[in-house]
Structure 1
Amino acid sequence: MPAASRLRTPLAGALLGLLLFLLPVLLLQERSYVLIDDNLDVELTIPYLLTRHHVALDYRASTVLAPIMNGLPRNALRPGLSATVLLFGLLEPLPAYWVQQLLVRLLGLLGLYALLRRHFLPAPAQRRLVAGLALGWAVLPAYTMYGLTVLGQPWLLLAFLNLRRGPARWTDWAILAAFPLWSMFVFVGPFALAAGAALLLLDWARGRGVAWRAAAGLALLTTSYLVVEYPMFYSLLVAKQFTPHRLEFDLSRLGAPGLRAGLLSAGRYFFMGQYHASQFFRGAGLLALAVAGWALWNRRAERGPLLELLTGLAGLALFCGFYPQFVELVQDRLPLLRAFNLSRFHFLTPLLWFVVLALSLRVVPAGRLRAGLVALQLLIGLGMNTEWTNNLRELAGRPRPTDPNYAAYVAPALFAQVQQRIRQQTGLPPAAYRVACLGLPPAVAQLNGFYTLDSYQNNYPIEYKHRFRPLIAGELAKSAALRTYFDAWGNRCYLFSAELGKNFRVGARPPRVVQDFAFDAAAFRRLGGRYVVSAARLATPARSGLVPRGEFGARTAYWHLYLYEAPPKS
């Protein structure tokens, strides 16, 4: 095929659309916006620190990651056999993040294109439709720090369906073996395996026999996850290195109780999904289904799979919506349900909704209506992708005041001032003292070379949580909301202030003053702490056992910082 002709193919157009989607990042570079919540405030630091401290592949029970929580057990963190860790080992955090995003979205586009062309929309005349859907999939809001966990699922489903239907190719086996190298087991592994097993059982119940190749594929996927996630399985199940803080989770205390709350939550899961697993309005799929409804009424063979999918999606939404109430009933008898979140089946629903959309569009006549439905899905994905919309605002010179770009958020020059002040006063490098942060995520300090006692972690020793609590017990006593937030969850093992509430991003403007900070400086010192880096000024630091050591600002930084020391009692 001539080069000019190849550029006119629908797939080439979709690839060009993806490049245009990522163009703002190339133009902004350091000034680009990176999703902050549950992402820049936690996820970017881990692979970066694992590689910079040379412990990515060190799975010994004694190995710790020193900059986090006074030495967080290495095996509490993501595995070293990971494409994400490799990228962060080769590049600095921001380039690594955007290269990962480019690759994940590119593979997501190609994966959905291959899946739809092979199994759902195979006709040559449907290539434009498939390319449009693939681009709509690739631009969805997604936590790409999770690798292929969500956007890479089409490859997983493609390989499984190929093995189930036959004949299979070596590439199908390779996909199943490689998928764990770039995905998060706790978010997708058990749930994809359970869904695949359920489909095979359904085939058997309907008299179609067992697709042994597909069953072997699931076994291969399981084996690969066991190899990749060896540190987690070994530390929790064999060596029992530490007791996870997750065993104190109490989801029933974190959510609103009752039938109404469960139904509202189920409705959000059904119509919007969950933000970690790509949150977008399912309107295009529902509208396409409504448009196709009359034609599907007389086509039982095509109506059946759609009804089954919708029933499954509705059932999953109800299960996820009422999951906290369910856990409340059984958590005392099954403590592991506190630690392992079964509601993460919702990570499978974005792809299932795209299958619903594709199957519905298959019976909608080609033309403006069908193209309009694909365009609607594309616009929904773009409009709900906050990274993309915030980067457009950054380019237009109208950024949101509460959503700083990467350079302003990480603010290396500002944190370098803090480090230099401490070095001038003590002569100590960052590894020789420990800090904790108030009003800003500890991940920012960690990215700037500080060693922090506080952190945002999905898994850490419960013993450390208990040792940290006395530092903030006075503030927790003031606020029932913060007390529940820490005691019933505790992933954010932070310095809390009842006056700041859950504002963990206190910007320089407007300046904030904490009038009364009930901080246990003695407990802080016993844990190894020396300095508090605060984004809010303390009105009476002496009452907290702290001494002011400096104030720092920078025109381009999001933060205005105050440094306090907890000196030992003489």
Structure 2
Amino acid sequence: MAVLALLLLWLPCVMRGADSYVTIDDNLDAEINIPYVLHQVGVVLDYRPGTTLPPIMDGLPRSAVRPGLSVTVGLFGLLSPLAAYWVNQLMVRAVALLGIFCLLRRYVWPEPENTVLAASTALAWAVLPTYTMYGLSALGTPWPLLAVLNLRAGRGRWFDWLVLLFFPLWSSLVLAGAFIVAGLGAFLLVNALRARQLAWSAWAGLLVLTLSYAVVEWPLLRSVFVQPEFVPHRVEFRLAELAPAGLLAGVRSTVQFFLWGQYHSSRFFHGVVLLVVAMAAWQFRSRTGSKTIGEGLRPVAVLLLVLLALAVFCGFYPQLMTPVQRVLPALGAFNLTRFHFLTPLLWFGVLVLALRLLPSAKLRLGFVGLQLALGLLSNLEWLYNARMWLNRPTAHEPTWRQYVAPALFTAIRQELEQRQQAPASAWRVACLGFPPAVAQLNGFYTLDSYQNNYPLQYKHRFRPIIAGELAKSPELRRYYDAWGNRCYVVAAELGKNFREGRNEQAVVNDFRFDAVTFRQMGGQYLLSAARLATPNQTGLQLIKQYSDPTAYWQVYLYEVIPQ
């Protein structure tokens, strides 16, 4: 029934089809295009050194993107990008629901009368806002925990081994896997010290999980540790330059991490959980003779201290890394704050342990219902789709059809192919005012892109194209030089607004663009969502303006003036 309720809750999203809203930031502009391109160029399982993705950055190394041994990537080979996205999301949430339900029934509420409570809590877990393009990295964490707990308790069966073997096929090593392994290892180590004996089966299970990640992510591990293909741009990360400095800024960030979490893993207000903890503590205070409640509060307090420690670490991480990077500059390439992928499960651990201390079954169900409602309202993807059904769309949040704009970009690509007398693979474009992922999803080959990992050399080659604009904006200069995941054509007048809708009628009056370097890198056309007031001064000429009533954008097509 909980799985059915989950599917019914997501009908408002799925039934809208191409007119549904799909999370844009760090998702539609960065993740969905990758598996699509992998299948388009036929290199899903091509792990040979030197294999590239020509549509992205004129040949992004294959090892820089997600592995082919991935459930998510496989779905994009079977379905259209939008269908694959929604099917993947529904599958992730359903599997996550079953995982935490099994965990709760085995170790928290095994009594038959608590079945409904466990199912309701599992539903509240499955609706949390998270980036499901990362697979089970966040919501799937109950599965490896359950398997390790079973093995530690001597209850392990073949299914637990399969969970640990196949979990890496639907999760990310760099985002969550390494931290899941570290977290489970720390848990087993503490348990071993307390029990004065090793749970060998559980450690063996953890080894299986680790080795499975190594097999799935072998192309990345080989390119970094065994046979380096390139120096990643991440070695130049200087996160302290992007975040506010000082004690107050660190405290503010700590509070945000503790009370809301991180948006990639799951960002929701933890007030309901803390309210349940307060109620449990009040029960203990009003019943001072009860040792049971006192003992029950200890694990809650321990988990809260762990969560607080993680929040402090994540909140002060940019400042902590500054002195470390002076000694070990390459360490800046690794984001150690991704322990936050473990925090949603830890918060639900606090919730269920505190709920166990409440005497009233109705009160427990009431709090779970409140958490369910909070989770749904925190899930902006679900909320925005629900608003569209009520004819109250959210401003500046376009639908899939409006954002990807297939009719608009197909018309542009086809006209350019006729103009060039060559397919899109024979020439290169760049984008201004909208993410290059939009062009990539429509068959264009772009010099720019939003990538978490790409060659440092390419970052340095691309910089002269936008150096004039970076010189005008300290904010954009820091954004590119100290981070650079968005290797974009930028304009200081637009700032960090990478969504210039057609209704905004954006105009760039002074655009400093190195057309010579752009041409040398193979670029011939600039697709711009903003009109350039004086394109000829930068070596560009306007070819045509494109518009479509179904598109969020209007596109000005500029060509590099031949020298």
Which of 145, 158, 161 is residue 146 of structure 2 equivalent to? 158
Alpha-carbon separation, structure 2, partners of 1:78 and 1:277:
18
Alpha-carbon separation, structure 1, partners of 2:3 and 2:141:
19
Residue correspondence of structure 1 range 76-95 to structure 2 within 5 A: 76-95=64-83
Which of 339, 349, 357 is residue 345 of structure 1 equivalent to? 339
> Do 2:13 and 2:386's aligned partners in 1 also have CA atoms closer than 8 Å?
no
Secondary structure at the aligned position of 1:275 is classed as coil
Q: What one-letter code is carried by the residue in structure 1 that aligns with 2:441?
A: L
Which of 237, 258, 268 is residue 249 of structure 1 equivalent to? 237
Moved more, 376-385 or 299-308: 299-308
Alpha-carbon separation, structure 2, partners of 1:287 and 1:76:
43
Q: Residue in 2 aligned with 1:386?
A: 380
1:200 pairs with 2:188: yes
Residue correspondence of structure 1 range 352-363 to structure 2 within 5 A: 352-363=346-357
Alpha-carbon separation, structure 2, partners of 1:303 and 1:445:
54
Q: What one-letter code is carried by the residue in structure 2 that aligns with 1:280?
A: F
Q: What one-letter code is carried by the residue in structure 2 that aligns with 1:59?
A: Y
Distance apart, 1:296 and its partner CA: 4.5
Runs (4+) of structure 1 exceeding 4 A deviation are: none
Length, aligned pairs only: 557
Alpha-carbon separation, structure 2, partners of 1:450 and 1:222:
38
Give the RMSD, CA atoms, in angstroms: 1.1
Which of 439, 442, 455 is residue 436 of structure 2 equivalent to? 442
Q: What one-letter code is carried by the residue in structure 2 that aligns with 1:26?
A: V
Secondary structure at the aligned position of 2:107 is classed as helix
Secondary structure at the aligned position of 1:379 is classed as helix
Secondary structure at the aligned position of 2:341 is classed as helix
Alpha-carbon separation, structure 2, partners of 1:109 and 1:86:
22
Alpha-carbon separation, structure 1, partners of 2:195 and 2:425:
64
Distance apart, 1:470 and its partner CA: 0.1
Q: What one-letter code is carried by the residue in structure 1 that aligns with 2:456?
A: I
Q: What one-letter code is carried by the residue in structure 2 that aligns with 1:252?
A: A
Moved more, 479-488 or 288-297: 288-297
1:544 pairs with 2:538: yes
Which of 476, 483, 489 is residue 489 of structure 1 equivalent to? 483
Q: Residue in 2 aligned with 1:5?
A: none
Alpha-carbon separation, structure 2, partners of 1:139 and 1:29:
20
Which of 414, 419, 424 is residue 413 of structure 2 equivalent to? 419
Q: What one-letter code is carried by the residue in structure 1 that aligns with 2:296?
A: E
Distance apart, 1:127 and its partner CA: 1.1
Alpha-carbon separation, structure 1, partners of 2:134 and 2:410:
30
Alpha-carbon separation, structure 1, partners of 2:45 and 2:385:
35
Distance apart, 1:420 and its partner CA: 2.5
Secondary structure at the aligned position of 1:193 is classed as helix
Alpha-carbon separation, structure 2, partners of 1:119 and 1:243:
46
Alpha-carbon separation, structure 2, partners of 1:70 and 1:26:
34
Q: Residue in 1 aligned with 2:222?
A: 234
Q: Residue in 2 aligned with 1:63?
A: 51
Which of 465, 468, 471 is residue 474 of structure 1 equivalent to? 468
Residue correspondence of structure 1 range 521-540 to structure 2 within 5 A: 521-540=515-534
Which of 112, 134, 155 is residue 124 of structure 1 equivalent to? 112
Q: Residue in 2 aligned with 1:51?
A: 39
Q: What one-letter code is carried by the residue in structure 1 that aligns with 2:4?
A: L
1:184 pairs with 2:178: no
> Do 2:529 and 2:556's aligned partners in 1 also have CA atoms closer than 8 Å?
yes
How far does the alpha carbon of each residue in 1:482-503 deviate from its partner, in whole angstroms, 9 at most, with x for none? 0000000000000011000000
Alpha-carbon separation, structure 2, partners of 1:360 and 1:342:
29
Distance apart, 1:240 and its partner CA: 0.6
Alpha-carbon separation, structure 2, partners of 1:81 and 1:96:
16
> Do 1:121 and 1:358's aligned partners in 2 also have CA atoms closer than 8 Å?
no
Distance apart, 1:55 and its partner CA: 0.3
Alpha-carbon separation, structure 2, partners of 1:247 and 1:26:
40
Alpha-carbon separation, structure 1, partners of 2:138 and 2:245:
30
Alpha-carbon separation, structure 2, partners of 1:34 and 1:226:
31
Alpha-carbon separation, structure 2, partners of 1:336 and 1:277:
25
Distance apart, 1:255 and its partner CA: 0.4
Secondary structure at the aligned position of 1:150 is classed as coil
Distance apart, 1:453 and its partner CA: 0.1
Distance apart, 1:303 and its partner CA: 2.0
1:558 pairs with 2:561: no
Distance apart, 1:97 and its partner CA: 0.2
1:141 pairs with 2:129: yes
> Do 1:524 and 1:530's aligned partners in 2 also have CA atoms closer than 8 Å?
yes
1:366 pairs with 2:335: no
Q: What one-letter code is carried by the residue in structure 2 that aligns with 1:363?
A: L
Q: Residue in 1 aligned with 2:288?
A: none
Classify 1:144/1:60 alpha carbon distance in 2 versus 1 (closer, same or farther; 3 Å): same
% same residue: 57
Secondary structure at the aligned position of 1:435 is classed as strand
TM-score normalised by L of structure 2: 0.97
> Do 1:246 and 1:338's aligned partners in 2 also have CA atoms closer than 8 Å?
yes
Show structure 1 runs of 5+ residues with no match.
1-11
Distance apart, 1:25 and its partner CA: 2.3
Distance apart, 1:163 and its partner CA: 1.1
How far does the alpha carbon of each residue in 1:457-513 deviate from its partner, in whole angstroms, 9 at most, with x for none? 000000000000000000000000000000000000000110000000100102110
Q: What one-letter code is carried by the residue in structure 2 that aligns with 1:510?
A: E
Q: Residue in 2 aligned with 1:319?
A: 313
Residue correspondence of structure 1 range 13-24 to structure 2 within 5 A: 14-24=2-12
Alpha-carbon separation, structure 1, partners of 2:155 and 2:554:
62
Q: What one-letter code is carried by the residue in structure 2 that aligns with 1:539?
A: A
Distance apart, 1:63 and its partner CA: 0.8
Moved more, 553-562 or 420-429: 420-429
Show structure 2 runs of 5+ residues with no match.
286-290
> Do 1:296 and 1:302's aligned partners in 2 also have CA atoms closer than 8 Å?
no
Alpha-carbon separation, structure 2, partners of 1:533 and 1:387:
28
Alpha-carbon separation, structure 1, partners of 2:473 and 2:561:
28
How far does the alpha carbon of each residue in 1:68-95 deviate from its partner, in whole angstroms, 9 at most, with x for none? 0000011111100010111001111000
Secondary structure at the aligned position of 2:503 is classed as coil
Alpha-carbon separation, structure 2, partners of 1:201 and 1:222:
16
Q: Residue in 1 aligned with 2:423?
A: 429
